[in-house]
Homo-oligomer: A and B are copies of this chain.
Amino acid sequence: MKVQILQEKLKEGLNIVERISSKSLTLPILNNILVSSEKNFLNLAATDLEIGINWWVLAKIEKQGKITIPSRLLSSFVGFLPNKKINLEVKNNNLICECENYKTQIKGLPAEEFPLIPKISEAESIVLESASFCKSLSQLADIAVPSTTRPEISGIYFSFQKKLLTIASTDSFRLGEKKIYLKNSLAQEYSLILPQKTVKEIINIFSEKPGEIKMFFSPNQVMFEYLMEETKHAQIQVVSRLIEGEYPNYQEIIPKKFTTQLILDRAEFLNQVKTASLFSGKINEIKIKVIPKEKKALIFSQSPDIGNYQSSISGKIEGKPIEISFNHRFLLEGISGIKSSELIFEMNGDSNPGLLKPVGDDTYLYVVMPIKTT
């Protein structure tokens, strides 16, 4: 391989793909990035066997070829170079990089040993607006937690029905759900569970990208693709395996009615719950006492070692008085996922889940289980 490419282009690609390369002791080649030429494109690829990523850029290809190179080293090295033309050449399992007054030879591993990243571009696909899709994902990405006994809830659930995509995430103590309205309609319905790591990488890779990404479906995998503006050739492809199993029928636990409803200033409520958390001790418990008659709610926490806390918040408060306890961490994450200036908090007695949602936005909801204090 003999290739010429501008430093800032190569750096951009390395920053994207190096995230996926893993620190594998059993399979050292996974620490490497596959650098190869494909006609008049330079291709970078990395995989951790769960997610695979490909990145392409137009380059001056003088000789076709390929090699794999330790990812952090290559990325750090290229990062230090001036923004000038870089000459890359493969010789005897080494990559020779020359750029102005810099010249290095980096030891690689043969490209033939690098695992194949599957391509599934023949499958049915859907178009997603990248920035808003990633914003939606980020409202849910942190809710799931790794679970060996229930692997299905360690991922994020996607359900496509005609023009509606519903995403959900839970750890059985809380649940987040987000609806996204699609531009085009799918011929069939899809539901799938994407690993949490994939979702987080999708957010990292595509959040700042203008325009659209395409999502392709196959029975065991999905692919996200972003095209180059000029050539319409793929610039980025992320392929991920799916998590097997059936996602729990979470719809059942979303409260459909309420006996107590609060409409609160989001920032003020967030700050009071954060402050209360300082005093909540080891079980993370904070108590909310709603007094509809006074249009206010009191927030309490206490710990025998630390002391005790009380604050009050006013708002539009209706329904029955209630005293209910929550884990402050779960409540905080729900409030943080809401972006509107006011939020709605609905409850059905002290032993049923509470519901948080934005004011003026029906696409997001968050269900949180109370701490039963009996």
Query: What residues of chain A have their CB less than 8 Å away from a CB belonging to chain B?
Result: 70, 73, 76-77, 80-81, 94, 101-107, 271-272, 274-275, 278-279, 305-313
- Could you say which residues of chain B place their CB within 8 Å of the CB of A274? 80
Q: Which of B94, B103, B271, B307 contacts A310 (CB 8 A)?
A: B103
Does B307 lie within 8 Å of A104, measured CB to CB? yes
Does A101 lie within 8 Å of B313, measured CB to CB? yes
Does A305 lie within 8 Å of B107, measured CB to CB? yes
Does B106 lie within 8 Å of A307, measured CB to CB? yes
- Could you say which residues of chain B place their CB within 8 Å of the CB of A308? 104-105
Q: CA separation between A310 and B104, bound complex, in Å?
A: 6
Does A312 lie within 8 Å of B101, measured CB to CB? yes
Q: CA separation between A271 and B312, bound complex, in Å?
A: 55
- Could you say which residues of chain B place their CB within 8 Å of the CB of A271? 80
Does A102 lie within 8 Å of B311, measured CB to CB? yes
Quick one: closest B residue to A311, CB to CB?
B102
Does B307 lie within 8 Å of A102, measured CB to CB? no
Q: CA separation between A243 and B261, bound complex, in Å?
A: 63
Task: Return 27 A-B CB contacts under 8 Å, by A number.
Answer: A73-B278, A73-B306, A76-B278, A77-B275, A77-B278, A80-B271, A80-B274, A94-B307, A101-B311, A101-B312, A101-B313, A102-B275, A102-B309, A102-B311, A103-B309, A103-B310, A103-B311, A104-B279, A104-B307, A104-B308, A104-B309, A104-B310, A105-B307, A105-B308, A107-B305, A107-B306, A107-B307
Does B73 lie within 8 Å of A275, measured CB to CB? no
- Could you say which residues of chain B place their CB within 8 Å of the CB of A105? 307-308
Does B101 lie within 8 Å of A306, measured CB to CB? no
Q: CA separation between A274 and B107, bound complex, in Å?
A: 19
Q: How far is the CB of A304 from chain B (nearest CB, A)?
A: 8
- Could you say which residues of chain B place their CB within 8 Å of the CB of A73? 278, 306
Q: CA separation between A81 and B268, bound complex, in Å?
A: 10
- Could you say which residues of chain B place their CB within 8 Å of the CB of A104? 279, 307-310
- Could you say which residues of chain B place their CB within 8 Å of the CB of A101? 311-313
- Could you say which residues of chain B place their CB within 8 Å of the CB of A278? 73, 76-77, 80
Q: How far is the CB of A53 from chain B (nearest CB, A)?
A: 23
Q: CA separation between A312 and B100, bound complex, in Å?
A: 9
Closest 9 CB pairs of A and B: A80-B275, A106-B307, A101-B312, A102-B311, A104-B309, A107-B307, A105-B307, A103-B310, A105-B308
Does A70 lie within 8 Å of B306, measured CB to CB? yes
Quick one: closest B residue to A78, CB to CB?
B275
Q: CA separation between A73 and B281, bound complex, in Å?
A: 12
Q: CA separation between A94 and B279, bound complex, in Å?
A: 14
Quick one: closest B residue to A108, CB to CB?
B307
Q: How far is the CB of A316 from chain B (nearest CB, A)?
A: 17
